[in-house]
Amino acid sequence: MQGRLRKQSLQVEIATSCAHCGQAMHLVVDERLHWRVRESGADPHLFMPQIDWAAFQGRNIIDDY
């Protein structure tokens, strides 16, 4: 979201692990919400909500989505 607001190309890397097998995973997400996994063979199931920010009235998406 910050990349869109600032009109910059940004990406973030999330270091996590598989809840099923415990294998380490690194997810890379860019400002357009495109994502990829660095580890070959990993196929995570990600929830990427589509929020209409212009109409959103809540304090945050955790409590109000």
Whole-number Å distance between alpha carbons of 11 and 17: 19
Instruction: Give pLDDT, residue 60.
Output: 78
Domain boundaries, the chain: 1-39
Instruction: Give pLDDT, residue 65.
Output: 61
pTM of the predicted model as reported, rounded to 2 decimal places: 0.57
Taking phi over 0 as left and psi of -120 to 50 as alpha, with beta for the rest, 49 belongs to beta
Instruction: Give pLDDT, residue 5.
Output: 73
* Model confidence pLDDT, tens digit, residues 2-45: 666 777 788 889 999 988 888 899 999 888 888 899 988 888 87
